[in-house]
Structure 1
Amino acid sequence: MFADLPRWSGPLPVLWDSTVTQRVGRLLDGDVKVAWFYGQPDTSTFRYRVANVVEAVNSDRSGAMSAAWFSDDDIPSVLSVVPRLDAIVLARHRYGGHVRRLAATAERAGVPLLFDTDDLVFDTSYADLVMDSLGRDPSVSLDWDVWFSYMGRLNATLRLCEGALTTNQTLRTALSRHLPTGSVHVVPNVLNRVQQDHSRELWQAKEASGYARTGPVTIGYFSGTPSHVRDFTVAAPALARLLARDDDVSIRVAGFLDDVGPLEEFRDRIEFVPFMHYVDLQRSIAEVEVNIAPLQHNAFNVCKSDLKFFEAAVVGTWTVASHTPSLDRAVTDGVTGRLARDHEWDGALAEAVDLARDTQRYAATMRAAAEHAHDAWAWDSVAGPVREAISAHLAGRAQLAKGSPTSPVASS
C-alpha cells in the first residue's frame, strides 16, 4: 500500500450549496442558456452528469454558453425563466407533475427538451436484465414495482424530449431507437475541478516518494453504488485463489459490499471502508496498488462508462477491468491498465501484483497513464462536447423549422 499520502486540506465541497437565485443569475449570463434538471442532488449521477458539466460550461470565460442546475423541487420557482432559455436537459429525471409543467412551459416557449442518461434504465424491456444485474430477488413483487415504475417514468420523460446526451456510443445507439436520427450526442464523463486537483496532488506525492510502499500489495474494489454488487463475483474466485497462494496480498473494499463469496475465509485480510466523500475516495484509491473494475457481461453493463478506470489512473493506480466498449477505448491494454475477460482474471491479477512489486516499472507505467488520464478526462474538457452537442441540436432544429430537407444534426 502507498502510505503517507496527503489529505485534502480544504473543506470538502458540497455540490448543491448554491441558492436558486444564484443559479438563475449565472444561467442568464451567457449567450446560449442551458438548464439541467435532476430529481434531487446526490453524489453519483448528479455529480458526473449535471454538476461537473455545469461547472465546466461556466468555466468558459467567453460567455458563449451559460448553465445551471435545478432540482425537481425548484421547477415551480424557475418556470418564469424558461422562455429565456435555449435548451433544457432532463438528466435521468423521472416524469411527474413538476416535469409535466416544465415540459408544457417549454413547449409553449419553443424551448427544446433533451434527455440525459448514464445507464440503460430508460426502457422497461430491460427491466428483467437490470433486476438480474442488481441481484434482486425475482419473487419479490415490490422490486418489480420499483424498477418498472422507475424505468417507466424515465421513459415517459424521454418521450417528451427531441434529443439526448449520453456517456458513450453504446448508450447512444440504444437511445437512438427512441429519438430522431442524429439527435443523440455523446458527452463523456470527466472529473470535476476539486477531484482532479486532489488527484494530481496524490499522484505527485507518489512520484515524489518514488512510489514508496509498505506492507502487502493491496487490491481495491470501489463499488460506488449497489448496482455493482453482483459484478464483484466476476473477480472474486480469482481473488480467492490469489490470496490462497500469496500471503502478501490484501483486499480493500469500499462502498456497498458485504457478501464476499469465496473470499469469506480470507475476511481477516479484507479491509472494509464505508461509503465516503468523492474527494476522500480519490485518496483511498491512490493508496492501493491495484484497482479492479469487474463487470458481468450483459447489455446493461456494456453501457457503463470508463470512470472506474480514469478515477484510478489520475492518482497513479493500476486498474484491471472487464471488457466493455468504453473501457476498451479508454484503456491501452497492458500499457495504461489491463483488460480481462472472465477467464483471464487469474493471470491479470498475478501480472498486476508483479508490477506493483517492481517499483521502478510501476512508477514508469503509472507516470504515463496518469499524464494521459489528467489530459483526457480533465475537468474542463467536457465543455467542448457539450457546446458542440447543444449547438448542433439547435442548428438542426432551426433548419427543420425553415423546412430544409437536410439537417446537420442528422449527420453528427
Structure 2
Amino acid sequence: MFESALVNRIEYSDPWNLEFDQRFSMLNSAPTRVAYFYEKPDTSTFRYRVFNMVQALNVGKSVSASWFHNEDIKRMHEVIDRVDALVFCRTKYTPAIAQLVARAKNRGVRVLYDVDDLVFNADYVHLVLDTLDQDVNFEPLLDNFFAYCSRNGALLRACDGAITTNEFLATQIKAFAPHATVGVVPNFLNREQQEVSEQLFARKEVTDFASQAPYHIGYFSGTPTHRRDFAVVSPAVTRLLEQYDDIRLVIVGFLEPGPSLERYRDRIDQYPLQDFLNLQHLIAQTEINIAPLIDNTFTNCKSELKFFEAAITGTISIATPTFTFKNSIIDGETGFLASSHEWESKLSQALTLLRNRSEYAKMAIAGFNYARQKYGWDQQSDVIEAALFGERVVSGTETRTLEAA
C-alpha cells in the first residue's frame, strides 16, 4: 500500500446541487451559451458528460454553460430563448422533450445528443444485457431495456447531431443516424477530482513511490453488472494469491469476487461505492489498478476513464486492449495491456515493478503526464467548443468540417 496516499476522508457533498436561478445565472455570463439537459443529476454519466463539460467551458470568457433537468421542464423555454446550443445527454424521448427540440430548432439553436454508451440502438440490446450478465429471458427486463434504448434513439435521431466519447462509438452513432454530424469529446477529470489526485500524486512522487507490503491489486467496479468482466481476470488473480503471500485484492462497489476467490476472503478488502473524490484516495493507495473487459462491440464503445483516473494519482493500470484503452495506454510505458490469456503475465510484470521502484516510478510518471495533458479539466474547452459548434466533426470513420457535412 502507498502509505503516502493515506489521508483523512474528505467531507463530500454533490457540487451540482444548485437552484435553477443559480444555474440560469451561470448560463448568461458569456456571449455564446450552451445548455445541457440530463433527466436527473447523478454521479456517473451526468458528472462526466454534463457537470465536467460545463466546468470546462466556463473557464473561458467567450462561452458559458449550465445544466438543467426534468424538474426544470416548465422553465426550459426561458433557457432555450437564451442559448446557442442545447445538448440532451442520454435523455429519453418524451412529448415534452420533443416540444423543447422543436422550440430550439425554430429559434435556430443547434440541438445535439450526448451519449457515452451503446444504449440507443435496440439491435444491440441482447449483446448489452448478455455482457452485463443479465437474464435475457426475463420479459420485464427486455421490455424495459428495449424501451430505454428505443427512446434514447428516437431523441438522438431528432437532434441535429451528436457528441460522444470516442471514435468507435461515433461510427455506431453515424450508422444509426446517418444524417447526424458526430463530434468526439473524451471523458475527462473535473477540477476538484484533479486537484485531489495531483496532491496524492505529489505525495507519492516525493517518496519515490515507496510502498509497503502487502501490495494491493484494485478493481474499482462500481456496480454488480461487471461480473463477467471481472471473470476475465479472476483466475489470474487467484493464481497470484496462491503464489504470493504479500498481495491483497481491493474491490470497490457491489461486485462479489466469485467462487474461485472464496478461499481468499481474508485477503480481500471490500469498500462500498465512493463519491468521486474519496474514490481517488482509494485508487492512489493501490499499487496496481485493473480494468478487465469482455472484448465486444459494446465494450469497445466504453471510455478509458478507469485508466486516467488511476494514472492521475500515480497508480499504474492493466487493461483489456479495447478501442479506447489501446489508444490511451502505451503497453509497457504508461501501463499494461492484457488480452484474456495475458493477465497472469502482465500482473506478474507489474508486481516485478514493485520490487524495482525506479521502473515503477518511470511508468507512473509517464501515465500521470499523459493523463494530465489529455484528460485535464483545463485542457478541454477547445475540443468541446469544436464538437458543439462544428469546427470539426466525425462522420463514419473520418473527421471532416461541418461545412462539408
Q: How many Å apart are 1:17 and its aligned residue?
A: 1.9
Greater mean alpha carbon deviation, residues 33-42 or residues 70-79: 70-79
Q: How many Å apart are 1:410 and its aligned residue?
A: 5.8
Q: How many Å apart are 1:6 and its aligned residue?
A: 5.0
Maintained 8 Å contact 1:190/1:381: no
Maintained 8 Å contact 2:34/2:87: yes
Partner in structure 1 of residue 401 of structure 2: 408
Q: Does 1:195 align with 2:193?
A: yes
Structure 1's 349 and 410: CA in aligned 2 closer, same or farther, altered over 3 A?
farther
1:98 is paired with a residue whose SS is helix
Please point out which of 321, 324, 330 is paired with 1:323: 321
Letter in structure 1 aligned against 2:321: H
Q: How many Å apart are 1:289 and its aligned residue?
A: 0.5
Q: Give the TM-score, by structure 2 length.
A: 0.94
Q: How many Å apart are 1:21 and its aligned residue?
A: 0.8
Structure 2 unmatched runs, 5+? 394-399
Partner in structure 1 of residue 239 of structure 2: 241
Maintained 8 Å contact 1:23/1:69: yes
Q: How many Å apart are 1:349 and its aligned residue?
A: 0.6
Letter in structure 1 aligned against 2:340: D
Identical pairs, percent = 41
Map 1:13-412 onto structure 2 (within 5 A): 13-60=13-60, 63-180=61-178, 183-392=181-390, 408-409=401-402, 411=404
Q: CA RMSD in A?
A: 1.9
Maintained 8 Å contact 1:6/1:201: no
Q: How many Å apart are 1:162 and its aligned residue?
A: 1.3
Maintained 8 Å contact 1:292/1:321: yes
Q: How many Å apart are 1:84 and its aligned residue?
A: 2.3
Could you list the per-position Cα deviations for residues 155-189 of structure 1 after superposition, in whole angstroms to 9, with x for gaps in the alignment? 11112111000000001100111334671000111
Maintained 8 Å contact 1:183/1:410: no
Maintained 8 Å contact 2:159/2:180: no
Q: How many Å apart are 1:348 and its aligned residue?
A: 0.4
Maintained 8 Å contact 1:182/1:411: no
Structure 1 unmatched runs, 5+? 396-406
Greater mean alpha carbon deviation, residues 323-332 or residues 209-218: 209-218
2:251 is paired with a residue whose SS is strand
2:66 is paired with a residue whose SS is strand
2:77 is paired with a residue whose SS is helix
Maintained 8 Å contact 1:54/1:68: yes
What is the aligned residue count? 399
**Separation in 1 of the partners of 2:364 and 2:392?**
41
2:209 is paired with a residue whose SS is coil
Partner in structure 2 of residue 400 of structure 1: none
Maintained 8 Å contact 2:76/2:100: no
Maintained 8 Å contact 1:2/1:211: yes
